[in-house]
Structure 1
Amino acid sequence: MIIQIVNPNTSAAMTAKLAAVARQVAAPGTEGRVRGSASGPESIESAFDEALALPGLLLAVAQGEREGAHGHVIACFGDPGLAAARELARGPVLGIAEAAMHAATLVAPTFSVVTTLERTVASAQRLVAHYGFERQCRRVRATGIPVLALEHAASDAALYARISAECERALAEDGSGAIVLGCAGMADLCQRLSDTLRVPVIDGVSVAIKLVEALVGAGLATSKRGDYAAPESKAVSGAMAAFVPPPALAHALA
């Protein structure tokens, strides 16, 4: 089984971190292929960043399809381009926010999200509502740490302490039973935080990889009826022409 994990930003350090997670959690017989975006911002922390990241993300999904990927993981907590990626893919495509929130409700009655900058809280709250977890999600909390700074969070005691303290406040003040980490850059902190806090701490990257494995193993693929049907072939002009799937791929998806 081949699962492609797409880093929709251009940070090489983030891509390397995702590769380490994939090696750790993938089952024997599963190849976790990690692909960083070839274009776009080095981190995604705003709607503008997300818009710039989408062409590179979709190009990566299309490339994975040509290389025979059985499923994909979009490794950004904003789940950017998820519906469009599902149109491009035959196998399942999971965003790490959706996967993490589902997992949280399976192991605890309530959860809090601990994320990066304050400006990302509103977008995470919209995802909570979109996925139908408003009753289970007690609060989305910001640590004030930029995405790129998380590269050092495992080794920087002060950064780790800020994240851990926000998780502790979530448990004490929100009454939550689990913590969802609101950034792929926090993936390497998951086990350490869980051991310290003694509650489930959920990294969406790991969970999404395992869920894609399960879906593919159960013989499930993305429906090509309705919203996730393959994109129709049409003329696209200018810079975006490079991101249209070739006719052979579009025909295979139809």
Structure 2
Amino acid sequence: MTAKIAAAAGEVAGPGVEIAAVCPDDGPAAIESHVDEARAAVAVVELVERDVRAGGSDAYVVACFGDPGLDAARELVDVPVIGIAEAAMHLAAISGRSFAIVTTLSRTLGRAQDLLARYGMTDACVWMSGTGIPVLDLEEATGEAFETIARHCREAVAQGADAVVLGCAGMTDLCHRLADRVGVPVVDGVSAAVGLAAAMVRAGVGTSKRDEYAAPPRRPVPVP
């Protein structure tokens, strides 16, 4: 799945942009619960810190729809740090007046609602649905899995959505096929985030260090 995400990122990155797609050594194999997300956030912080020690990157994309560790990662660097849910919602809101979210398990819809509120997108989102497909089953989302996702996308359009946001990075390779099937823009967060990150770098816009995203205080770790 990491390789699939890298391929999607490379398609929109543009000339001169190098994509380094990395997966944590530790943490959950998939993020399908609040416990998974908490563990993934720690892994995101560790990956960014490791990259900074190695010289750093011009921008970072958190390729999970829950945007785990996003705020913490922003504290660590002054370059753009973008979550795919945040990017996809903003792009969909530009693409049409309304959008829907089609994601994996229904238990993740609460987190999606939280992010809609955080990003000021609650009014723009007219429908959400969980397909019941586990994240790891999306590594090869063909046949029945694709048809299930397409059916949910069609229902989203029937509910008044001008665009559909795919609520999992594992769906990134389905975007164009789904758009052809349902007749409205289908937004993949990986592509949206990479495109936005590249644009921010070119424009010289990074992460503000004024207050909340200033570097975290360094305190000694207590010895047990």
Q: TM-score, length-normalised on structure 1?
A: 0.85
C-alpha separation in 2, matches of 1:50 and 1:229: 23
Residue 63 of structure 2 corresponds to residue 75 of structure 1: yes
Residue type at the aligned position of 1:162: T
Distance in 2 (CA, whole Å) between partners of 1:56 and 1:236 is 19
- Counterpart in the other structure of 2:5: 18
Aligned twin of 1:182:
167
Which of 180, 183, 188 is equivalent to 1:195? 180
Matches within 5 A, 1:114-125: 114-125=102-113
2:27 is matched with which residue? 40
Aligned to 1:84: 72
Query: Is residue 2:85 matched to residue 1:100?
Result: no
d(CA) in 2 for partners of 1:231, 1:42: 28
Shift of 1:237: 4.6
Q: Of 96, 120, 125, which residue of structure 2 is paired with 1:132?
A: 120
Deviates more, 1:19-28 or 1:35-44: 19-28
Q: Residue 206 of structure 2 is aligned with which of 221, 224, 227?
A: 221
Aligned alpha-carbon RMSD (Å): 1.3
Is 1:51 the counterpart of 2:25? The answer is no
| Residue in 1 that maps onto 2:51 | 64
Matched, 1:235 2:220: yes
* Structure 1 residue runs of 4 or more that deviate by more than 3 Å after TM superposition: none
Maintained 8 Å contact 2:42/2:69: no
Displacement of 1:232 after TM fit?
Answer: 1.0
Q: Identity over the aligned pairs, expressed in percent?
A: 51
SS in 1 for 2:20: strand
* Correspondent of 2:157 among 167, 171, 196: 171
For 2:129, what is the secondary structure of its paired residue? strand
1:211 aligns with 2:193: no
What's 2:100 paired with?
A: 112
Amino acid at match of 1:20: A
Aligned to 2:143: 157
* 1:141 aligned counterpart, secondary structure: strand
- Within 2, Cα distance between the matches of 1:41 and 1:237? 27
Cα distance, 1:130 vs. partner? 1.2
**Which amino acid counterpart does residue 214 of structure 2 have in structure 1?**
A
Counterpart AA for 2:172? A
Give the Cα–Cα distance (whole angstroms) in 1 for the partners of residues 128 and 113 of structure 2. 7
> What's the secondary structure of 2:97's corresponding residue?
coil
What is aligned with 1:30? 17
CA distance in 2, matches of 1:52, 1:123: 15
Q: Residue 6 of structure 1 aligns with which residue?
A: none
Letter in 1 for 2:39: L
1:216 to partner: Cα distance? 0.7
1:49-93 per-position Cα deviation (integer Å, ceiling 9, x unaligned): 011112211111112223330110000000011110100112010
Query: What is the TM-score when the length of structure 2 is the normalising length?
Result: 0.96
Unaligned runs of 5+ in 1: 1-13, 239-254
The number of equivalent residue pairs is 223
Partner SS, residue 68 of structure 1 = coil
Of the two structures, which has the highest relative contact order with CA contacts closer than 8 Å and spacing of 6 or more?
2
